[in-house]
Amino acid sequence: MHRSQSSSLLKVFPYLLSDDCWAESDRDYQGNFVANRQTFPSGIKALADYVHAKGLKLGIYSDAGTRTCSMKMPGSLDHEEQDVKTFSSWGIDYLKYDNCNPAGRSITERYTKMSNAMKTYGKNIFSLCEWGRENPATWAGSMGNSWRTTDDISDNWASMTSRADQNDRWASYAGPGGWNDPDMLQVGNGGMSEAEYRSHFSIWALAKAPLLIGCDVRSMSQQTKDILSNSEVIAVNQDSLGVQGKKVQSDNGLEVWAGPLSNNRKAVVLWNRQGYQAIITAQWSNIGLSSSTAVTARDLWAHSSFSAQGQLSASVAPHDCKMYVLTPK
């Protein structure tokens, strides 16, 4: 991929996030994190300065336990304030906080300590990676900006669809400032078809999930870039109303997902989870419209518009979807 392609995509996705293993295996003599000297010889502060100079923001990883999930670096348990002060001094903008090696201490105790440190000393986005084990949607809203509702996602159809369903049950808990997180996007990693990746991106966008690219942006195909940079789909994800869309119809794998948008609009996804071509119909009564309402329907993948009233039908390919924004006339 040409550098210009990579740069244009990064403008849409402004955070660069480092996951586990960025640090040395031990803290320094003062108990501070030390960046891995081989991977980051100039340190994290220099990296943050470089990223910020490009107009981007930098995220980092830690863990609410004694060691991280890889066991290769220290966790932040009992070092919460110290670590947040370190991250702030480096210019970090985002913290992903994992949940391995808890030393027998409760999840709420450990995440509350880091949340308090972040509120006192940090200016970062705080992302809780608790994997949905103890229903964080019901308690994490006062602690951070997003919380994982699922186990880790894998790059295959079964994993992606199950994560979508697990996340859907918590739709009512999401809203501006705090979002359900069904894990990062797998688009472009090679384990699913174009249709399946299009469905993946559409459902994550409708669900107002954090859109985190999980593939190598340096080597992505044009097909992958076209999916990830669809500005009309991204606009649904970023809509100011901030209401998570959800599954509203299901008939043996032929599904309608929908949710409200600002300015009285509706976002609708017709999702075919079967292995054959099928017609899917969204009834107005299931998406919050009266039967007499006429709309302009904008197809976000075909980039075309048409009129509809009472219902919306389309023939959808196997494992594919159609995504629309409906604007009442």
Q: Strand 15-17 to strand 57-63: parallel, antiparallel, or no bridges (unpaired)? A: parallel
Q: Are 329 and 294 in contact (CB under 8 A)?
A: yes
Q: Is 26 a catalytic residue?
A: no
- Catalytic annotation, pick one of 83, 93, 98, 168: 98
Question: Other CB atoms closer than 10 Å to residue 193's CB: what's the count?
Answer: 13
- Residue 3 contacts by C-beta under 8 Å, 6 or more apart in sequence? none
- Catalytic annotation, pick one of 152, 216, 226, 251: 152
- Residue 55 contacts by C-beta under 8 Å, 6 or more apart in sequence? 11, 14
d(CA 204, CA 161): 11
- Residue carrying the six token digits 């993948």: 301
Question: Other CB atoms closer than 10 Å to residue 146's CB: what's the count?
Answer: 25
- Measured CA distances, 291 to 280, 283, 284, 312 (Å): 18, 9, 6, 11
Q: Is 216 a catalytic residue?
A: no
**155 dihedral zone (left: phi>0; alpha: psi -120 to 50; beta):** beta
* Residue 260 backbone dihedrals phi, psi, to 5 degrees: -75, 150
Catalytic amino acids?
Answer: 98, 152
